[in-house]
Amino acid sequence: MFLGERVFKYQDAHPTDARVAEALHRVVRVTRYGCTRGLEANTRVSKAAFTRLHRAFPKTKWAKETPYWFE
């Protein structure tokens, strides 16, 4: 998934940018409500975004609004 890869690269380059928390939240949401083509890839990206969000920004509102990832 293009969006997820871009957000992951940005986070790798800017690990303390608080805007990344919202971007990761949105990646998880788009895997649920966005395009379903390549479903296996969406699952992988959703789980990766969820994990990155909760590890890097565990106490943010975005982590609280993202209680799970989508298969």
Residue 69 lies in a domain: no
**17 DSSP assignment:** -
This prediction's pTM: 0.90
- Domain membership of residue 21 as a residue range: 2-64
Q: Where are the alpha helices (DSSP H) in 1-71?
A: 2-13, 19-33, 39-56, 61-64
Residue 13 lies in a domain: yes
Residue 19 lies in a domain: yes
pLDDT in tens, 3-38: 999 999 999 999 999 999 999 999 999 988 876 665
More confident of the two residues 43 and 53: 53
Return d(Cα 45, Cα 24) in angstroms, integer: 10
Predicted pLDDT of residue 38: 59
Count of domains in the chain?
A: 1
Predicted pLDDT of residue 29: 93
* Consecutive H or E run containing 65: none
Residue 71 lies in a domain: no
